[in-house]
Amino acid sequence: VSAAAAAAPILADLKSKCATPVPVLRRVADAMAADMRAGLAEDGGSDLKMILSYVDSLPTGNENGLFYALDLGGTNFRVLRVQLGGKEKRVVDNEFEQVSIPQELMYGTTEELFDFIASGLAKFVAKEKGLFHKPQEGKGEVGFTFSFPIKQTSIDSGILIKWTKGFAVSGTAGKDVASCLNEAMKRQGLDMRVSALVNDAVSTLAGARYWDDDVMVAVILGTGTNACYIERMDAIPKLENLAHKSGNTIINTEWGAFSSGLPLTKFDKDMDSESINPGEQIFEKTISGMYLGEIVRRVLLKMAQFSALFGDSIPDKLSTPFVLRTPDLSTMQQDNSDDLHTVGAILSDRTGVKSSSFGARKTVVEVCDTIAKRGGRLAGAGIVGILQKMEEDSSGLIFGKRTVVAMDGGLYEHYPQYRNYLKEAVAELIGLEASRNVVIEHTKDGSGIGAALLAAANSKYG
């Protein structure tokens, strides 16, 4: 028997355990809706934190003036300035710069990190020119997109719970990150303040909403994943004691922590138990870019061990966690050559498998497809869960009219098969007819502009 034929039972078993037929998707969507409700009822009520963003004025299009945004969410930070010209002129001009964070600052002190960021902003501000006009009075205002877990306390303050994504900066946990930035800007001699502190899903929603009133939900599918949506204040029971009960707000679901009803395999469970946060972020570990490549690697290692998929010897690299990355899966799935030579090259480069048969390469592509398909379809089911919850509370709000789900993140943007599986699952769940009205679309840099718009909408001087 060929190696590929020998691996066929493992592949068949994987496919059946990862299968997401409509009843499974429906179960996931229903559980998402139920968990959202439980998280809105009380803090700690479910896997979903359902965090209040304190964004209760959405961009209207009337915003006017010069605003800055600063985005810190990974190894780069971005600064952006936008000159807004009101309903007619909209975005008169905008410019941005990206600065990479030196490795040592990721392990340094809070002051060092924020001083570096504030000095990057100061240099950028110093280059203001042309169409950009300084505000007449008051301080310059900054929308700060900060994509680490914080406990939000108002639109312009939030306490860092913990650093993630490789950051281990001392002294920040328990502090208000907006104050940290405000103080650093002061040290740099910048007359500016943070007027909106938000995460990337929230700023993506705000940015997309600025252009299109039908945007109700935003989803990030990148290294990690998150979703937020527009909620009625009076549908948030945990708000009980607040006077503020009318109007809408944005709820940050933190849906990466969702875990109900997911079709998981031994590969997922092993990856989870060997991770730095076992038992946490299960949805994220099933659908997001940080993990899809690693799941595939684990499957391929098993195929190599139990059916000699790549011959008699197994390269060490194939046993090394995270050597296969999600962009590699996407690249392999785009290989249309007769001999799948790109698949062969990636196997060789990344996993040290120097020679692979055509049959083995085909099997690899099928494994990638199985994992991407499960991820995309489950993400689609999650989106339907959110839409469903909104529709249940306000009949006619979502279905029977145009509704936009704003998407962002490298995984969604660069993995066409994943994207298609996601859209297919949404259509299967809500029906072809209804799905024509649900527009799932990629927003190009919604989040940068979104944070600046939220700075404008929450301006102290506007």
Could you list the residues that contact ligand ADP (CB under 6 A)? 73-74, 222-224, 289-290, 326-327, 330, 409-411, 414-415
Please pick, among 200, 268, 272, 369, the residue that the annotation labels catalytic.
200
Q: Is 333 helix (H, G, I), strand (E, B) or coil?
A: helix
C-beta closer to ligand ADP: residue 113 or 411: 411
Q: CB of 331: closest distance to ligand ADP in angstroms? A: 7
Handedness of CA 51, 56, 62, 65 (dihedral sign): negative
Q: Which amino acid is at 114?
A: F
Nearest-angstrom CA–CA distance, 428 and 435: 9
C-beta closer to ligand ADP: residue 75 or 109: 75
Handedness of CA 317, 318, 322, 325 (dihedral sign): positive
Q: CB of 148: closest distance to ligand ADP in angstroms? A: 11
- Look up residue 176 and give its DSSP letter: B
Q: CB of 453: closest distance to ligand ADP in angstroms? A: 20
Nearest-angstrom CA–CA distance, 18 and 268: 10
Q: Is 118 helix (H, G, I), strand (E, B) or coil?
A: helix
Q: Is 34 helix (H, G, I), strand (E, B) or coil?
A: helix
C-beta closer to ligand ADP: residue 58 or 290: 290
200 is catalytic: yes
Q: CB of 67: closest distance to ligand ADP in angstroms? A: 22
171 Rama class: left (phi>0) / alpha (psi -120 to 50) / beta: left
Q: What is the dihedral of CA 442, 448, 449, 454, to 10 degrees?
A: 110
341-370 as b/e: b if 16+ CB within 10 A: ebbbebbeebbbbeebeebbbebbebbbbb
Radius of gyration of the chain (CA): 23
Burial of 209 (0-12, 13-18, 19+ CB in 10 A): buried
Q: CB of 412: closest distance to ligand ADP in angstroms? A: 8
Please pick, among 89, 165, 266, 460, the residue that the annotation labels catalytic.
165
Beta strand pairing call for 76-85 and 64-72:
antiparallel
C-beta closer to ligand ADP: residue 249 or 443: 443
Q: CB of 375: closest distance to ligand ADP in angstroms? A: 10
C-beta closer to ligand ADP: residue 249 or 330: 330
C-beta closer to ligand ADP: residue 171 or 410: 410
Query: How far is residue 272 CA from its own chain's centroid?
Result: 19
Question: Among residues 231, 219, 90, 205, which one has the least CA distance to residue 450?
Answer: 205
Q: CB of 426: closest distance to ligand ADP in angstroms? A: 20
C-beta closer to ligand ADP: residue 301 or 372: 372
The residues annotated with a catalytic role in the active site are 165, 200
